[in-house]
Amino acid sequence: MNAADDQAVDVRAPSATRLLASLGIEIDPELLVLALTHRSFAHEAGGIPTNERLEFLGDAVLGVVVTEHLYRAHPDLSEGDLAKMRAATVSQRALAATARGIDLGEYLLLGKGETGTGGRDKDSILSDTLEAVIGAVYLCHGLELTRAMVQRLVGPTLQAAADLGAGLDWKTSVQELAANRGLGAPVYDVSGTGPDHERSFTARLLLGDVAWGEGEGSSKKIAEQNAAEQAYRALAAERD
């Protein structure tokens, strides 16, 4: 039995019972193994299939479910507001938080290198794997049961998105506020430090020559959003 077989048996065994209980649905064992197989493990195991095709499918299913929910739940909101709410719900950070809530990282099939650099808690890997799991559930059960599972998993995020207002997309919100005040378009000055597997980024938001906000994060996108939030609050406080 090779390494891939060993790992697959582990996922099929009672160790996966808690994960399936968290999902609230059964998944074909082979599809579950595939959904949890990161490309780093697949490469080390001799080029076995990865979860990337399931991730592609799950991303589309997730988008449909979340979009339909928002459309029906918020009949008075504009297309722009709905798009912001959807983006906040299916963002990498939001999906990774949902994945952590069901301890998905514990079940990932990762290569040794990725495991050694903290891959089980990386936002990108967790969010992609959650989408792959959604894809696997869709193949097993179709749209209706998948919709029910997705709504259970992301329900808290959907509710939070309804209450976020400007926080749905700080970068867009601060851009609109700056434009309304005639301050021009925000420019982000971003720098990174640390090794490739553990980079940390700092972003400053500039309007003209004035820095209005600064933020940090594990990616450029997160650092820029944090800088935008600080700038938005500073601009709003000055306006008020």
Torsion angle (degrees, nearest 10) of CA 75, 81, 85, 90: 110
Which active-site residues does the annotation give?
A: 59, 131
Q: Phi and psi of 107, rounded to 5°?
A: -105, 0
Residue 55 is assigned to a ligand binding site: yes
State the Cα angle at 161 between 221 and 87, rounded to 5°.
45
Count CA atoms closer than 13 A to 104's CA, side-chain side: 30
Are 40 and 110 a contacting pair, CB within 8 Å? yes
Q: List C-alpha distances in Å: 203 to 17, 176, 188.
A: 42, 19, 6
If we measure between CA atoms, which residue out of 184, 225, 226, 221 comes closest to residue 206? 184
Instruction: For residue 138, give both structure tokens.
Output: 């869709």
Residue 131 is assigned to a ligand binding site: yes
If we measure between CA atoms, which residue out of 36, 219, 43, 183 comes closest to residue 120? 36
Sequence ranges of the binding site: 55, 128, 131
Binding residues for Mg(2+), by number, are 55, 128, 131
